[in-house]
Structure 1
Amino acid sequence: MSNDRGARFGKRTPQRPRDALKPSPSPSPTSGDGLPARDVAVSALFSVLVEKRPFDDVFAKASAARALAPRDRAFARLIATTVLRNRGSLQAVLRTYLEKPLPEHLGRLEHILLAAAAQLLLLQTPPHAAISLAVDQCRADRNGRRFGNLVNAVLRRLSESGSGRFASLDNATLTFPDWLLDRWSRTYGVAEARHIARASLSEPPLDITVKSDTDTWASRLNGIALPTGSIRCSHVGRIEELDGYADGAWWIQDAAAALPVKLLGDVSGLSALDLCAAPGGKTAQLAAGGARVVAVDKSAGRLTRLNENLQRLGLSAEVSVADAQSYTSEMTFDVVLLDAPCTATGTIRRHPDILYLKRPEDVAALAALQAKLLRQAARLVKPGGTLLYCTCSLEPEEGEDQIAAFLAEHGDFRRRPIALGEAVVPLLWRTADGDLRTLPSNFPELPEGLRGLDGFFASMLVKSDC
């Protein structure tokens, strides 16, 4: 079933305990009345939900076109991502104030209502600002201008009595696509699937990988040092203004994404090939560990950003624009890292647009691509070397099943299980075969706002010496 359920405010409104975000204060925009920031948020929502385009791409384009100041940009992003994480519940509440469903083909009207509802129910925006600017947006839209009075009335009623109704809803069921919840229920069990879904709908904290001295930097950044070696911070403002950023002391990287390279141990002096390298967090880890790194990606633009990050960090790597499916080299490598393209269902908390962009058939299509990439990567590993495969997907076809199929086809490789004494990987995160499997519901013991982890899978495969 499509994850467009409830589109145009249909009739589905189950009343069960909700799993939505708790309200948090929203930053005040700095440009005039805040209309440009709200316009960018609505434009990005329309692009994701109607045109099925990736959020980061459309948001960057829309915010640049309006020349938003950093604070306005942050506010626009917060509105849009809050809607994406809570769309099902927001639609359900709005429905209760509409006598009949909205007509089709009303341009941005639905998204204006959703953005305003998110501000009123979740972001603690003053009602007069959220309502009046939503009405202004509606009247400026040629398809929705005749509904200005309706929008005003609905949002006023919502601001007065919507919180209780919103709090009674099951946001995970209403917002997640059925096919994905069903998949996770089969793979992880019904209870764990719900834990994963709830965690995936929470706004993530900021995770940082440092070159050295984790405890000192945790203190300087007002964060906590995770058992895995990453630093975790709550709301921090602009990244570029944080202590140590300009000096290249650290980089942004989810704690789960930082684990695969750590499993390799000491990489000093080793030759390492990072396929599908952008945005470059693992390239930086390998380079910081003393490896001689070749970073390959088919996107020249993404490699430009990777190079900029390496320059800021004072690290070096040989960078090559190439498709990993056909990449060849005159040499083989001690380590080949393949962070393969995937459905990215483990990163919904950071990329909630995945809920609206991915389809069930994507799993099989991407698994087929991963198999091709693995076969090519295997050719580039020197005898005795290690092939490190990882994805940020929660789907077994892109993780456990992929490795089982690879080993059945490649008798010259064997799995290197994660050592039981590996300090950075709790036993719970090791699969029965000794691979790595993290879930968004991990770290439940941390304080609220600091919990969770990207869903990640990694397997280390060693090539025989002969």
Structure 2
Amino acid sequence: MNNIQTNPRRAAVHLLTRVLQKHQLLEEILNPVLKDLSPRDRSLSRALASTTLRHLGVIDGLIDKMLDRPLSEKIFEIRHILRIGIAQILFLNIPSHAAVHDTVELVPEKSKYRGMVNALLRRTDRQGAKLLHQMDVPKHNTPPWLWENWVAHYGDETAHEIAAANMTEAELDISVKGDPQKWAKLLDADILANGSLRRPAASDITSLPGFSDGEWWVQDAAASIPAALFGNVEGKTILDCCAAPGGKTAQLAASGAKVIALDRSKGRMKRLADNMNRLQLTVDIQVGEAENYSPEQKLDGILLDAPCSSTGTLRRHPDVAYLKSPADIEKLGSLQMRLLDAASKQLTPDAILVYSVCSLQAEEGEHQVDNLLKRDSSLKRQPVNAAEIGGLSEVINAKGDIRCLPQHLGGMDGFFAARLVKLSGS
């Protein structure tokens, strides 16, 4: 059997096994699994794994349609081999003969499944596109619990739009310290309505102009909105809770704020410190629990970008759809509630709290804020005006909160953010 260290397709099968059987995040296992492959093979292996995960629902649907009886759960590796083979034929620009031959070679010659894999991949080449047209592709590519949740909150039409947008790979969004026109030209990027730059994804961002000089950082356009809700932060003291890896920290510091970056993870804060050093930004970095944090100085605002299910990031992290469950939403919801209550206690009168999550789940966004305002009369919602965020009225909901969807702005993370103010006399 081909070795992981020398075969990108074998490595992709191994990546799928670690994601789907061992429930590990794809982003965290890429380097250890692919470290011995050439740069070209690393790119292929990553594309195979991420594309398969992005289209996993329809790929499995096709496998089930073409088989007389279901594959045993015990032979998950054969299913993974079939999955990456189908992904190559239908979703990647790889010649079918090469995709079939090189994928079948992953199955041992004496295996009873080798002929079946060969036959299914050849049938996919002949009939796969036609079979796809018979399927509700966006729905098939969304785990049932997620689909039902989105339909219940957004309606069937918007749920289809969300799921369809999640099947497209994200481009590279960038936040710059200044002079966006200059950097748009140098980076061959477009300037979005909110001021972010967008360009095609790059295999090595460190080689792009301005990276080593600390002129910009990677940040999805949606992720740049919460920090903008503080308005002019020049000279103001802002606590950035759960700050790592530091995109919003950098945004606030680059705008002139005195930022206290707080996070519980020493490892993640090391990464934040490295990012701030590259960007040449001065930040007060502290490691600690946000629930128990007591500021030593008056805060003008708190940015709570809370831990969440990350279901808004499926364009970039398709594995998340298969690593999260309703139980995770409930557990995270309890943590988010505690963090919100703790943040409210740290605010002085007239200070602003911005709460955000990169989640499409209302339980982590809209419902959290509604419930907070019911139990905490010291806070009041401060609705967002479209002019504050580059005129992006489509991302503002009826209550004045931010609700970004993956189909907005030509593609962005699903994000929720609300701005709250501490009432005087509280």
Same fold (TM over 0.5): yes
Determine the C-alpha separation between the residues in 1 that align with 2:337 and 2:265.
20
Residue in structure 1 matching 2:251, options 266, 281, 285: 285
The equivalent of 1:247 in structure 2 is 213
- Alpha-carbon offset, residue 307 of structure 1: 1.3
Is the counterpart of residue 262 in structure 1 residue 233 in structure 2?
no
Q: Classify the secondary structure of the residue corresponding to 1:307.
A: helix
Is the counterpart of residue 274 in structure 1 residue 240 in structure 2?
yes
The equivalent of 1:94 in structure 2 is 63
The equivalent of 2:346 in structure 1 is 380
Q: Classify the secondary structure of the residue corresponding to 2:240.
A: strand
Residue in structure 1 matching 2:145, options 175, 179, 184: 179
TM-score, length basis structure 2: 0.93
Is the counterpart of residue 113 in structure 1 residue 109 in structure 2?
no
Q: Classify the secondary structure of the residue corresponding to 2:41.
A: helix
Determine the C-alpha separation between the residues in 1 that align with 2:413 and 2:386.
22
Residue in structure 1 matching 2:313, options 323, 347, 368: 347
- Alpha-carbon offset, residue 96 of structure 1: 4.1
Is the counterpart of residue 400 in structure 1 residue 366 in structure 2?
yes
Q: 1:388 to 1:133 in 2, by over 3 A?
A: same
Determine the C-alpha separation between the residues in 2 that align with 1:350 and 1:295.
25
Q: Classify the secondary structure of the residue corresponding to 1:398.
A: coil
Is the counterpart of residue 192 in structure 1 residue 158 in structure 2?
yes
Q: Classify the secondary structure of the residue corresponding to 2:301.
A: strand
Please tell me the residue identity of whatever aligns with 1:72.
Answer: D
Determine the C-alpha separation between the residues in 1 that align with 2:121 and 2:397.
49
Determine the C-alpha separation between the residues in 1 that align with 2:104 and 2:198.
39
- In 2, are the aligned partners of 1:244 and 1:250 still within 8 Å (CA)? yes
Determine the C-alpha separation between the residues in 2 that align with 1:345 and 1:203.
15
The equivalent of 1:305 in structure 2 is 271
- Alpha-carbon offset, residue 117 of structure 1: 1.2
The equivalent of 1:215 in structure 2 is 181
Determine the C-alpha separation between the residues in 1 that align with 2:379 and 2:345.
11
Alignment deviations for residues 386-439 of structure 1 (CA, whole Å, 9 cap, x no partner): 111111112222112211222222222222211353252422222222111111
Q: 1:413 to 1:134 in 2, by over 3 A?
A: same
Is the counterpart of residue 461 in structure 1 residue 420 in structure 2?
yes
Determine the C-alpha separation between the residues in 2 that align with 1:109 and 1:325.
46
- Alpha-carbon offset, residue 81 of structure 1: 1.0
Is the counterpart of residue 46 in structure 1 residue 17 in structure 2?
yes
Q: Identify the range of structure 1 (394-403 vs 219-228) with the bigger mean alpha-carbon deviation.
A: 394-403
Determine the C-alpha separation between the residues in 2 that align with 1:256 and 1:348.
13
Alignment deviations for residues 106-133 of structure 1 (CA, whole Å, 9 cap, x no partner): 2411111101111111112123432233
Is the counterpart of residue 57 in structure 1 residue 25 in structure 2?
no
Determine the C-alpha separation between the residues in 2 that align with 1:101 and 1:408.
50
Q: Classify the secondary structure of the residue corresponding to 2:73.
A: coil
TM-score, length basis structure 1: 0.86
- In 1, are the aligned partners of 2:4 and 2:11 still within 8 Å (CA)? no
- In 2, are the aligned partners of 1:35 and 1:133 still within 8 Å (CA)? no
How large is the Cα RMSD of the aligned pairs?
2.1
What fraction of aligned residue pairs are identical, expressed as a percent? Answer: 40
Determine the C-alpha separation between the residues in 2 that align with 1:380 and 1:241.
42
Residue in structure 1 matching 2:107, options 138, 163, 180: 138
Alignment deviations for residues 134-175 of structure 1 (CA, whole Å, 9 cap, x no partner): 2232229xxx94422322232233234323323443222212
Determine the C-alpha separation between the residues in 2 that align with 1:305 and 1:36.
31
- Alpha-carbon offset, residue 194 of structure 1: 0.8
Q: Classify the secondary structure of the residue corresponding to 1:383.
A: coil
The equivalent of 1:73 in structure 2 is 42
Determine the C-alpha separation between the residues in 1 that align with 2:374 and 2:68.
59
Determine the C-alpha separation between the residues in 1 that align with 2:7 and 2:291.
42
1:312-461 equivalent positions in 2, closer than 5 A? 312-443=278-409, 451-461=410-420
Determine the C-alpha separation between the residues in 2 that align with 1:249 and 1:204.
22
Q: Which runs of 5+ in 1 are unaligned?
A: 1-31, 444-450
Q: Classify the secondary structure of the residue corresponding to 2:209.
A: coil
- In 2, are the aligned partners of 1:90 and 1:166 still within 8 Å (CA)? no
Determine the C-alpha separation between the residues in 2 that align with 1:417 and 1:93.
46
Alignment deviations for residues 261-298 of structure 1 (CA, whole Å, 9 cap, x no partner): 11211111111111111121000001111111111112
Q: Classify the secondary structure of the residue corresponding to 1:355.
A: helix
Determine the C-alpha separation between the residues in 1 that align with 2:88 and 2:221.
30
More helix by share: 2
Q: Classify the secondary structure of the residue corresponding to 2:420.
A: strand
The equivalent of 1:3 in structure 2 is none
- In 1, are the aligned partners of 2:358 and 2:416 still within 8 Å (CA)? yes
Determine the C-alpha separation between the residues in 2 that align with 1:299 and 1:405.
28
- In 1, are the aligned partners of 2:48 and 2:88 still within 8 Å (CA)? yes
- Alpha-carbon offset, residue 206 of structure 1: 0.9
- In 2, are the aligned partners of 1:296 and 1:324 still within 8 Å (CA)? yes
Q: Classify the secondary structure of the residue corresponding to 1:45.
A: helix
